[in-house]
Amino acid sequence: MSIITFALFLFLASFVVVTAQKKVLDIASYGGLPNGDITQAMTKAWAAACSSTVPVRIYVKNAKYKMLDVHLKGPCKAPAIEIYNDGTIQAPGDMSQLHGVQQWIRVEYVNKFTLSGRGTFDGLGPSSWHHNTCAKNVHNCKMLTMNFGFSFLNNSVIRDVTSKDSKNFHVNVLGCNNIEFNNFKIDAPEDSPNTDGIHIGRSVGVRILHTKIGTGDDCISLGDGSVNVTVNDVTCGPGHGISVGSVGKITSETPIDSFTVKNCTLTNTMNGVRIKTWPAGPGTITITNMHFEDIIMNNVSNPVIIDQEYCPWNQCNKKIPSKIKIRNVTFKNIRGTSGTKEGVTLICSAGVPCENVKLSDVKLTFKGREVVAKCSNAKPTITGVAPACVGAAAA
Ligand SMILES: *[C@@H]1O[C@H](CO)[C@@H](O)[C@H](O)[C@H]1NC(C)=O
Ligand SMILES: *[C@@H]1O[C@H](CO)[C@@H](O)[C@H](O)[C@H]1NC(C)=O
Ligand SMILES: *[C@@H]1O[C@H](CO)[C@@H](O)[C@H](O)[C@H]1NC(C)=O
Ligand SMILES: *[C@@H]1O[C@H](CO)[C@@H](O)[C@H](O)[C@H]1NC(C)=O
Ligand SMILES: *[C@@H]1O[C@H](CO)[C@@H](O)[C@H](O)[C@H]1NC(C)=O
């Protein structure tokens, strides 16, 4: 090849590098430069990626960047799209610059999407958290912007990256089929309001593996329509634990089924593993096949808890039982320390008692003594060592 052709080749290669069938789009070639705002560059790179006919990677090199809200939407022609971020990308601290969107980075309607790299997505939450009035103003509070919304994605992976200091939830998973979080990291302080780690709803086949979550609210929470969700090798703390629900407040919900939490460690969290439903609600969905196994609790206030009288801020009548049926729940090989004497709480609905709840080798201590189990409308089957239900509540 002539010198001129070779020079031309190098020139083109700096924009588009085709390696082993995967096309690489460097954000820098779209004007996304270190210390600059990469909103436009990301949007343009996404448009190019989406229309690619071969698998494609958007590459963000290690540097600091700013980015406003982006909406990365499919369906795409590309067989697979990866965003590989080695840098630190910051959201605006000033909420008004986010155009009132629910999610800072929203990825929707894509098959085979991957988010990876050693980088960080920093929601710059500290300057906005005081705008969160939801604890005081329950019914009409303004929702702040989440770091990520992954909606209607199929066969997708989020790996290695860090989500830091989101203004609200870190990640909302909605309508996805087969999505995996692997070696993902979530980092926000204990006192940051509503910074749930990963919230899942209306999705089938979600795996959260080898992930470290420290935040101010639930580490992982399952909303209605979550089916076949697996959590393995996750550490949680600080945070409020791993929760199913709350559900039952409205009628439009769909069932929650097949949730397995295994080989996890929770440290200094408010709850450990929890299922919660609203009393006095119209919802009648079922929650079935919930399995919690090989879990270490370190100073967890409520390590094992089913609460069908979940009613924060006393906004409902606890005397009207929840209509949500809970069936097939196992708590197996759960050990460590509880922050309260009642380390196991099984408060089920008087209307539709829990069915087939198993406690198998649940060894928890509070101040050096075995915890007790507080139960109502549940008759757990006990195998191995586990606290028996005590007190008047053992109905
Ligand atoms: C995801 O899968 C669902 C169910 O198979 C399908 O209806 C939908 O079109 C797929 N979405 C994309 C973006 O491929
Ligand atoms: C549930 O997940 C397992 C493993 O991830 C998979 O093999 C199975 O097909 C899934 N079932 C459904 C109904 O999605
Ligand atoms: C999961 O199991 C592996 C192997 O036993 C262990 O090294 C790791 O610490 C466990 N993870 C948690 C979060 O307990
Ligand atoms: C136990 O957890 C609580 C928060 O739930 C915390 O205030 C306390 O410092 C923790 N104790 C230890 C010994 O870490
Ligand atoms: C409950 O678990 C049993 C096996 O223990 C299974 O046969 C049954 O189908 C499960 N019920 C539901 C509603 O999934």
For residues 263 and 235, the answer to whether their CB atoms sit within 8 Å is no
Mean pLDDT score, 325-333: 98
Distance CA 346, CA 342 (A): 10
Q: How many residues would you count in the chain?
A: 395
Cβ-based neighbours of 7, under 8 Å, separated by 6 or more: none
Distance linking the first and last C-alpha atoms of the chain? 85
Query: Predicted confidence band at 394 (pLDDT cuts at 50, 70, 90)?
Result: very low
For residues 262 and 293, the answer to whether their CB atoms sit within 8 Å is yes
Mean pLDDT score, 38-48: 98
The rounded mean pLDDT for the chain is: 93
Mean pLDDT score, 346-373: 97
| Predicted pLDDT of residue 7 | 55
| Predicted pLDDT of residue 72 | 98
Query: Predicted confidence band at 393 (pLDDT cuts at 50, 70, 90)?
Result: very low
**104: left (phi > 0), else alpha (psi -120 to 50), else beta?**
alpha
What's the gap in Å between 235 CA and the centre of ligand 4? 16
Question: Atom 5 in ligand 3: which residue has the minimum CA distance?
Answer: 263
Residue with tokens 């309607």: 109
- Higher-pLDDT residue of 87, 95: 87
Q: Cβ atoms within 10 A of the Cβ of 251, count?
A: 11
What's the gap in Å between 206 CA and the centre of ligand 2? 9
- Ligand 5 site-directed mutation target among 288, 332, 355, most atoms within 8 Å of CB: 288
Q: Nearest bound ligand to CA 260?
A: 2
Mean pLDDT score, 224-250: 97
DSSP, collapsed to helix, strand or coil, labels residue 75 as coil
What's the gap in Å between 23 CA and the centre of ligand 1? 24
State which amino acid sits at residue 20. A
Indicate if ligand 3 lies below 6 Å from the C-beta of 298: no
Tell me whether residue 217 is one of the annotated catalytic residues. Answer: yes
User: Considering the chain, what percentage of its residues have pLDDT values greater than 70?
Assistant: 92
The catalytic position among 122, 160, 196, 217 is 217
| Predicted pLDDT of residue 231 | 98
The catalytic position among 165, 196, 199, 240 is 240
| Predicted pLDDT of residue 313 | 78
What's the gap in Å between 210 CA and the centre of ligand 5? 28
- Ligand 1 site-directed mutation target among 73, 110, 154, 206, most atoms within 8 Å of CB: 154
Distances (CA, A) of 173 to 11, 32, 264: 40, 27, 21
Indicate if ligand 3 lies below 6 Å from the C-beta of 232: no
User: Considering the chain, what percentage of its residues have pLDDT values greater than 90?
Assistant: 85
- Torsion angle of the four alpha carbons 341, 346, 351, 353, in this order, in degrees rounded to the nearest 10: -140
Mean pLDDT score, 11-21: 53
Query: Predicted confidence band at 395 (pLDDT cuts at 50, 70, 90)?
Result: very low
Whether residue 15 has pLDDT greater than 60:
no
Q: pTM of whole model > 0.85?
A: yes
Distance CA 374, CA 345 (A): 5
Question: Atom 3 in ligand 4: which residue has the minimum CA distance?
Answer: 268
Task: Write the burial class of residue 139 (CB in 10 Å: 0-12 exposed, 13-18 middle, 19+ buried).
Answer: exposed
Mean pLDDT score, 38-66: 98
Distance CA 164, CA 239 (A): 14
Tell me whether residue 294 is one of the annotated catalytic residues. Answer: no
